[in-house]
Amino acid sequence: MGTGPNATNWNQVGSQPPIRVSSASHSGSYAMQIYVTNSASTPNNSEFSQNLSTVGGAPVVPGTAYNLSFWARRVASGPSYVQNYGINWLNGSGGSLGFVGWTGFASGNGVWLQTTASNLVAPAGAVNALIQIYGTTGAVSGGHGGSLIDDISLSPGASTQTNVLFAPPQPGVEIGWPSSAGKFYDVQWSADLGRSAWSNLVSALPGNGGTNRVADVCATNELRFYRVSELP
């Protein structure tokens, strides 16, 4: 549901905010599109999120295992582009009690590909959850990428979804570090420690008070070094 590029009950933010489109969908008539492109060596990001309480969903039950599911179809995939999802468990005042992610996900090339995460246990005191999907480029000229996202669900118990398409294995790494709520971080990479040439993998990623994580897909046998910088 929504009007034009805006989807009802979804928060659309970023330097290039996502939009609701009718060009393709997994079900229904619309999907959300995250797409970012660099006209120069300036990173960009696109994120949408939903607070379950805003759509009248049942309260989260502490100790219950939940399943997250959504479908993604590739729009483009270029230099320095990464995409992640996350879930923030919230208490009755909206405070964070724990964060799942950021976790990288794949998109189908010309087909819809399902991402699932199971056994996500709500912590003590949790009554609500914030679902976030995020795409970003690093500080690379020509960096770009994006996906269509549809049929997002967070449900307790075993998943009833059938006809599952699994992502093909891709070489990659996950970078994790302890973060502070209210702080922002750049994750950078370099192919050569002997040079002072670092490129942003993710820019201005918000801290969650726990362990932040991002994923990077690399070419086979590619060597990369990583560092995390806290922004002032």
What structural domains and CATH numbers belong to the chain? 2-170 (2.60.120.260)
Smallest Cα–Cα separation from 87: which of 106, 107, 66, 72? 66
Encode pLDDT of 188-201 as tens digits.
888 887 777 788 77
pTM over 0.85: no
Please give the C-alpha separations between residue 104 and each of 2, 53, 175, 212, in angstroms, as whole numbers.
27, 25, 11, 12
Is residue 73 within 8 A of residue 147, CB to CB? The reply is yes
Whether 52 and 113 have beta carbons less than 8 Å apart is answered as: no
What per-residue confidence (pLDDT) applies to 164?
39
Q: Give me the pLDDT at residue 169, please.
A: 46
Task: Band the pLDDT of 165: cuts 50, 70, 90.
Answer: very low
Residue 173 forms beta bridges with which residues? 216
pLDDT value, residue 73: 93
Gap between the Cα atoms of 94 and 52, Å rounded: 11
Q: Which residues contact 58 (CB under 8 A, 6 or more apart)?
A: none
From CA 32, how far away is CA 16, in angstroms rounded?
13
**What does the pLDDT look like over 58-98, one tens digit per residue?**
788 999 999 999 999 998 888 889 999 999 999 888 888 88
pLDDT recorded at residue 159 = 42
**Residue 196 half-sphere exposure, CB side, CA atoms within 13 Å?**
0
